[in-house]
A and B are shown apart, each in its own frame.
Chain A
Amino acid sequence: MYNRSFLDNRLDKIYNKVKAGMRLDLNDGLILYESHDLSGIGRIADFARRRRHGDNAFFVYNQHINYTNLCINGCKFCAYSRDEKTGGAFTLNIDDVNLKILERIDEPVRELHIVGGLNPALPFDYYIDLIKSIKELRPDAAIKAFTAVEIDFISKIAGLSLDETLAKLINAGLSMMPGGGAEVMSSRVREKLFPKKISAQRWLEVMTAAHKAGITSNATMLYGHIETTEERVNHLILLRELQDQTGGFSAFIPLAFHPQNTQLSHLHNTTACDDLKNIAAARLMLDNFDHIKAYWIMIGEKLAQVALSFGADDLDGTIIEEKITHMAGATSAKGMSREEMERIIIAAGFTPVERDSFYNPVTKANANQ
């Protein structure tokens, strides 16, 4: 008879732990990455995913705004940033941003995802005004803005503490923070690829402060460059430990490195196995995170659909005009309609749930408001 034991018998122990609600350790995480029993890994992750979400698969109707690409960090994996020497730098003024919001004001956008580079020319008031003016135009949408890296930078520009900076931004309308800038929390990788960026410890401090200030955030990991498997698992464990303390993380988003047009262009793109293992390992290691996203912009629509069976419960957003990953050679579409999002979810055997930023379902009655 058809035998449902694992091809890789190391997965038996992991499955038993997951079923019993026991926490996975570093060694379990390493096995999840190293095993070639992809469907076995998927089966365990799918079990954990369905225990939390049944067959619901979430997405949000959102809009991205990148307010500047000028950045003093010069991370080697980035194809998006420019500095004054290289040329091609831009910064949107508040009117430009308003125009972008107004261009789509008739669409039912529920979340604005706002990130940019570290531009020393921008005063603290710029960030406050940015949020205030968007909030005025889009009072019902959630403003998810500024990675921990930007928040740290903004607080320095403002000459304020993290808590004070966050309080002022929240007061202006900030309701959530994206999870970018975590990269891989390893000092070895940081030294080599992004030495000017804040340390892992500081990234975690910013997130702690944000959660204490009452807003939620996402978390990410950029994989597929020079990091080791152990560094990936340790990254997940660091996130899990902070989540134990604050409970403020909403979703984890594994980010597939895209080498084209970066200083690491000699590296390969990630494979489907890499992408799905990162999603499954995240689902299983991050037992205290509600949501694991398959970010279709990075892994493509086709694989993101399959990722719903490998632990992911969220396809992120409809997104129009994605820039950062496409500068690094992404071949996915730049936007996806609500209908297309629902079609791929249903075709994968799941139930589409349009959500707001806080995972409240958008009911049919108010879907187009």
Chain B
Amino acid sequence: MQMNLDSRIDPETALDLLNNTPLLTLAEMADRKRRKIHQDNLVTFVIDRNINYTNICVSGCLFCAFYRPENHKEAYILSKAELKQKIEETLKLGGTQILLQGGMHPGLELDFYLDLLRYIKNNFPIHIHGFSPPEIYYIAKKSSLSITDTLKKMIEAGLDSIPGGGAEILVDKIRKKISPGKCTADQWIDVMRAAHKVSLKTTATMMFGHIEKKKDIIRHLIRIRNLQDETGGFTAFIPWTFQPDNTAVKVRTATSAEYLKVLAVSRLFLDNIPNIQASWVTQGDKIAQLALFFGANDLGSTMIEENVVAAAGIKFRLPKEEMIRLIKNAGFKAAQRDCFYNIIKLLTV
């Protein structure tokens, strides 16, 4: 395979790479691309915690094992006392941010979210990476506000950046089948565009390995790359595989080879997004380490707490020390970063 790694890859080439290129060839290409973008031989991660303020959600996505209906005995909304304890724990462990996400809760108004943000911001020195586009879209609609106005109020209350969740596959034919209650692909993009325009940085994700075809994966990448050309607001891209246990989608989990190929093609195709994250939560520590040779330059977060993927039958743990060990063992230098990928400090075990 001869390819100019400096020029932009068109969608047909990307599809061909995904379908027909041997695993290791893709690895070498993605690795070179990654080393061109990141010449410091660093692998970064953030110390944070996922806080799911509620598991009540009306979206009813077929792939989700986490949500509960409002009247379910396991349905919850976190109290401020619980929130406080979780954030204090995070700070004590050297954490710099929280990933604040929940469901599309039918009973909560914008004021609830603003109050939540203010409470956190007024009491703790911590970055709030919160509310994926489906939540923001839902909150805006419930409040009869524009997305931009909703975001402005949230920023004023303390929102610092937006996670890229809920993108699933940005192709409506697929979304209609697996997440009919969730915002459309256009609406997801609209929220991100609006966020970037009011200077909020965001990440972007992709959940694959369910009912999508390879060309849908490429379509997803096209939408992300196009928006990034327009706004430059994405800090990182995070592809991860659907985990089918305890969900209504009956497929087998995508294999590690499939994951690594998608990761590599993402690195090659998304030439305008600086960081590609490995998903140790879905892949485990071994494949996450290997992902560093397939285009990933970041291991995401130590995730002191994670609930959503765990509900679908996957429970890996990766403490900070272990993360550093994996990075060094792979020949890289480890560094703790903040949400904007600024280096906080170099780390040694």
Chain A positions within 8 Å of B256 at CB level: 302-303, 305-306
Contact of B330 among A36, A43, A268 (CB under 8 A): A36
Interface string of A330-355 (1 = CB under 8 A from B): 00000000001001100111000000
B325 A268 Cβ-Cβ under 8 A? yes
Q: How far is the CB of A269 from chain B (nearest CB, A)?
A: 8
A348 B32 Cβ-Cβ under 8 A? no
Per the bound structure, the CA–CA distance linking A7 and B28 in Å amounts to: 9
Q: Given that A272-B290, A273-B289, A300-B286 are contacting pairs, would A306 and B257 also be in contact in the complex, using a CB cutoff of 8 Å?
A: yes
Q: Given that A273-B289, A302-B284, A306-B257 are contacting pairs, would A46 and B24 also be in contact in the complex, using a CB cutoff of 8 Å?
A: yes
Chain A positions within 8 Å of B31 at CB level: 7, 39
Chain B positions within 8 Å of A276 at CB level: 290
Chain A positions within 8 Å of B285 at CB level: 271-272
Chain A CB within 8 A of B123 CB: no
Per the bound structure, the CA–CA distance linking A34 and B1 in Å amounts to: 28
Q: In this complex, what residue of B is CB-closest to A344? A: B255
Q: Given that A271-B329, A309-B22 are contacting pairs, would A38 and B293 also be in contact in the complex, using a CB cutoff of 8 Å?
A: yes
B329 A273 Cβ-Cβ under 8 A? yes
A-facing residues in B24-49 (Cβ within 8 Å) = 24, 27-29, 31-32, 35
Per the bound structure, the CA–CA distance linking A302 and B287 in Å amounts to: 7
Chain A CB within 8 A of B2 CB: yes
Chain B positions within 8 Å of A343 at CB level: 252, 255
A272 B255 Cβ-Cβ under 8 A? no
Chain A CB within 8 A of B283 CB: yes
Chain B positions within 8 Å of A349 at CB level: 22-23, 257
A43 B23 Cβ-Cβ under 8 A? no
Per the bound structure, the CA–CA distance linking A303 and B1 in Å amounts to: 25
- How many of chain B's residues touch chain A, expressed as a range? 20 to 34
Chain A CB within 8 A of B326 CB: yes
Q: How far is the CB of B131 from chain A (nearest CB, A)?
A: 32
Per the bound structure, the CA–CA distance linking A27 and B35 in Å amounts to: 28
A2 B32 Cβ-Cβ under 8 A? yes
- How many of chain A's residues touch chain B, expressed as a range? 20 to 34
Chain B CB within 8 A of A299 CB: yes
Per the bound structure, the CA–CA distance linking A348 and B261 in Å amounts to: 10
Chain B CB within 8 A of A275 CB: yes
B286 A272 Cβ-Cβ under 8 A? yes
Number of residue pairs A-B, CB distance < 8 angstroms:
95
B255 A302 Cβ-Cβ under 8 A? yes
Chain A positions within 8 Å of B24 at CB level: 39, 42-43, 46, 309-310
Chain A positions within 8 Å of B27 at CB level: 39, 42
Q: Given that A300-B284, A347-B258 are contacting pairs, would A2 and B330 also be in contact in the complex, using a CB cutoff of 8 Å?
A: no
A-facing residues in B56-90 (Cβ within 8 Å) = none
Interface string of A1-26 (1 = CB under 8 A from B): 11110010000000000000000000
Q: In this complex, what residue of B is CB-closest to A35? A: B331
Per the bound structure, the CA–CA distance linking A228 and B256 in Å amounts to: 30
B23 A306 Cβ-Cβ under 8 A? yes
Q: Among A46, A275, A299, A305, which residue has the most Cβ atoms of chain B within 10 A?
A: A305
B289 A306 Cβ-Cβ under 8 A? no
Chain A CB within 8 A of B342 CB: no
Q: In this complex, what residue of A is CB-closest to B258? A: A347
Per the bound structure, the CA–CA distance linking A299 and B326 in Å amounts to: 15
Chain B CB within 8 A of A321 CB: no
B325 A299 Cβ-Cβ under 8 A? no
Q: How far is the CB of B255 from chain A (nearest CB, A)?
A: 4
Chain A CB within 8 A of B122 CB: no
Chain A CB within 8 A of B206 CB: no
Chain B positions within 8 Å of A46 at CB level: 22, 24
Chain A positions within 8 Å of B289 at CB level: 271-273
Q: Given that A36-B330, A348-B23 are contacting pairs, would A4 and B286 also be in contact in the complex, using a CB cutoff of 8 Å?
A: no
Chain A CB within 8 A of B4 CB: yes
Chain B CB within 8 A of A96 CB: no
Q: In this complex, what residue of B is CB-closest to A269? A: B285
Q: Given that A2-B3, A268-B325, A273-B329 are contacting pairs, would A39 and B287 also be in contact in the complex, using a CB cutoff of 8 Å?
A: no
Listed by A's residue number, 10 A-B pairs whose Cβ atoms lie within 8 Å are A36-B330, A36-B331, A42-B24, A43-B28, A272-B289, A302-B283, A303-B287, A305-B255, A305-B257, A349-B23
Q: Add 7 more A-B contacts to A2-B32, A4-B28, A271-B285 (CB < 8 A).
A: A42-B24, A272-B290, A275-B286, A299-B286, A303-B286, A343-B255, A348-B257
Q: Which residues of A contact B (CB under 8 A)?
A: 1-4, 7, 36, 38-40, 42-43, 46, 268, 271-276, 299-300, 302-303, 305-306, 309-310, 340, 343-344, 347-349
The 3 closest A-B pairs by CB, nearest first: A36-B331, A302-B256, A272-B286
